[in-house]
């Protein structure tokens, strides 16, 4: 019989992935609950020691010896304490320490007054832990056995949750792979299967252009791991800027060893990131290390980030040089700094103006985030043009025009495929819209002219 108990405990350990001591603690807690149900009372702090080899149990009541209190004062304090706890419960808050100041805090379940303790053990003194041996008066009844079963299940679940929490707490700030389980239609939250537990991908941490199809396996950044009422709560992200840093550390040995240092990252999640790298080693090319032979390393990173484009920027201590590098692939003629306001006027040629700004101002915005300097792009040839990154959010013309050009291209494709359905009116209106955009569009002039010629 004893051997069967040990085998059962070991089987449970293997099945749930728990330590032997953890299961034994759960079993002893269950036996204590069963004893209290059949033979004890609520004022006893029952402890049990179980011997799995013989099946014997030792039971005792464990109490701390405290000073003697006046019974009338103790009763008043307990009544006041009950009122304060009820009030705190109604207000949905924790009981403050200051509120309990001056009240006698005596818990008869795990405390015993000195006078009572001396009746059991004459040498007892304040601070001692008094052990009061108890007898098992018979076999446990059906209700006690049911209570023990519930306690075991609860304790094992708590142990499992604690184990999972510890495992994933160590993964906080790292990348884990998970399988898309489902999307909540009301909140838009995506539930991700992480193996032992599920994680949560909130809408704010989702990449807009990505489709989270059930069954797809993706990498996720573990943003936070907390213990909630129902177990570990794992908050995942696909947009966190640190995700790019962790992917680089995982895929590029020179970064993980510290030979190449990431000096800064600017990210437009799902679209493009700029990563500034630096090294003190003269024999190492930091950009080449990130790209890898024939682009093997950078292609792996791009794939892991869902096709997000990556610009590797060489960091430089000189702000002018760093800003020039950050605006790549555009070629910058000169940079004029205002150190007091920390702004930079970047002078470029006419054919580099739209390239420096980027689609919807993306390139200059990411460069601003990366360098920490507010950048204004100035065209120094032909008609003088300026683009200030501070005006990006309010400048509707610049942010909306690239979308109009894309709509024109889509209309052209529809016209060629279904000329009868599209109609001639749309074809006539398109050139007029393009002409309005021709002078001010942030798209490269060559691309805009091609669209006009094709539509005409």
Q: What residues form DSSP beta bridges with 275?
A: 265, 312
Of all residues in the chain, the percent with pLDDT exceeding 70 is: 85
Cβ count near 119 (within 10 Å): 9
Q: Give percent of the chain above pLDDT 90.
A: 34
Query: Looking at residues 232-258, what average pLDDT do you find?
Result: 92
Domain ranges of the chain: 2-66+113-164, 71-105, 171-239, 316-394, 398-455
**How high is the pLDDT of residue 391?**
67
Averaged pLDDT, 412-432? 39
Q: Pick the range with the lowest mean pLDDT from 37-41, 109-113, 174-178, 397-401.
A: 397-401
Q: Considering only CA atoms, which of 296, 334, 330, 329 is closest in space to residue 312? A: 329
> Above 50 in pLDDT, residue 404?
no
pLDDT at position 145, please?
Answer: 82
Radius of gyration of the chain (CA): 35
- pLDDT exceeds cutoff 50 at 330: yes
Q: Tell me: the pLDDT tens digits for 5-50? A: 788 888 888 877 788 888 888 888 888 888 888 888 888 899 999 8
The Cα 161–Cα 149 span in angstroms is 18
Lowest mean pLDDT segment, chosen from 97-106, 113-122, 346-355:
97-106
CATH classification number, 171-239, choose in 1.10.760.10, 3.90.950.20, 2.40.50.140, 2.60.40.150 = 2.40.50.140
pLDDT at 425 over 80: no
Most confident among 253-257, 401-405, 434-438 (mean pLDDT): 253-257
419 vs 412: CA distance, rounded Å:
10
Task: Please give the residue that has the higher pLDDT: either 201 or 456.
Answer: 201
CA–CA separation, 340 and 338 (whole Å): 6
Report residue 410's pLDDT band, with 50, 70 and 90 as the boundaries: very low
Most confident of 77-86, 261-270, 384-393: 261-270
- Residue-wise burial string across 261-284, b where 16 or more C-beta atoms lie within 10 A, e elsewhere: ebbbbbbbbbbbbbbbbbbeeeee
Mean pLDDT value across the chain: 81
pLDDT-derived band at 164, boundaries 50, 70, 90: confident
We find that the CATH architecture of domain 316-394 is 2-Layer Sandwich (3.30)
pLDDT for the residue numbered 98? 83
CATH topology of domain 2-66+113-164: N Utilization Substance Protein A; Chain:P; domain 4 (3.30.1480)
Is pLDDT at 388 greater than 90 in this prediction? Answer: no
Q: What would the mean pLDDT of 387-403 be, rounded to a whole number?
A: 53
β-bridge mates for residue 75, sequence order? none
User: What is the per-residue pLDDT for 325?
Assistant: 92
What does pTM read for this prediction? 0.62
C-alpha–C-alpha distance, residues 262 and 314, integer Å: 10
- Strand partners for 47: 60
The confidence score (pLDDT) of residue 157 equals 85
pLDDT recorded at residue 149 = 85
Farthest CA pair distance, the chain:
109
* pLDDT at residue 278 tops 90: yes
Compare 396 and 337 and report the one with higher pLDDT. Answer: 337
Does residue 442 surpass a pLDDT of 70? no
């Amino acid at each position: 019989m004893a051997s069967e108990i040990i085998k059962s405990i070991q089987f449970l350990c293997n099945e749930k992935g728990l330590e032997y001591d953890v299961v034994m603690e759960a079993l002893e807690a269950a036996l204590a609950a069963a004893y209290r149900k059949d033979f004890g009372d609520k004022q006893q702090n029952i402890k049990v020691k179980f011997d799995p080899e013989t099946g014997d149990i030792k039971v005792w009541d464990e109490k701390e010896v405290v000073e003697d209190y006046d019974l009338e004062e103790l009763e008043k304090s307990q009544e006041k304490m009950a009122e304060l706890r009820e009030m705190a419960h109604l207000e949905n808050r924790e009981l403050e320490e200051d509120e309990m100041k001056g009240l006698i805090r005596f818990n008869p379940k795990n405390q015993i007054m000195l006078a009572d303790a001396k009746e059991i053990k004459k040498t007892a003194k304040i601070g001692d832990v008094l052990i009061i041996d108890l007898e098992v008066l018979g076999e446990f009844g059906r209700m006690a056995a049911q209570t023990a079963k519930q306690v075991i299940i609860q304790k094992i679940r708590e142990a499992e949750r604690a184990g999972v929490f510890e495992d994933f707490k160590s993964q906080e700030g790292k990348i884990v792979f998970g399988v898309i389980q489902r999307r909540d239609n009301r909140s838009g939250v995506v539930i991700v299967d992480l193996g032992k537990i599920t994680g949560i991908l909130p809408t704010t941490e989702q990449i807009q252009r990505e489709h989270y199809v059930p069954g797809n396996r993706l990498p996720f950044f573990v943003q936070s791991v907390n213990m909630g009422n129902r177990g570990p709560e794992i908050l995942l992200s696909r947009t966190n800027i640190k995700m790019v840093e962790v992917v680089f550390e995982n895929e590029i040995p020179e970064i993980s060893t510290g030979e190449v240092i990431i000096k800064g990252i600017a990210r437009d999640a799902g679209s493009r990131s700029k990563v500034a790298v630096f090294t003190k080693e003269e024999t190492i090319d930091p950009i080449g290390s990130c790209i890898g032979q024939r682009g093997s390393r950078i292609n792996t990173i791009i794939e892991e980030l869902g096709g997000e484009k990556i610009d590797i920027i060489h960091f430089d201590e000189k702000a002018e040089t760093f800003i020039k590098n950050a605006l790549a692939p555009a070629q910058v003629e000169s940079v004029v700094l205002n150190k007091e306001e920390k702004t930079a006027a970047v002078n470029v040629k006419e054919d580099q103006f739209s390239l420096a700004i980027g689609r919807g101002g993306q390139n200059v915005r990411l460069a601003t985030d990366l360098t920490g300097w507010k950048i204004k792009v100035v065209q120094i040839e032909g008609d003088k043009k300026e683009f200030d990154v501070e005006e990006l959010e309010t400048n509707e013309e610049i942010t909306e025009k690239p979308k109009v050009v894309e709509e024109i291209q889509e209309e052209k494709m529809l016209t060629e495929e279904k000329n009868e359905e599209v109609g001639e009116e749309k074809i006539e209106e398109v050139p007029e819209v393009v002409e309005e955009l021709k002078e001010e569009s942030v798209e490269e002039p060559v691309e805009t002219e091609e669209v006009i010629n094709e539509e005409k």
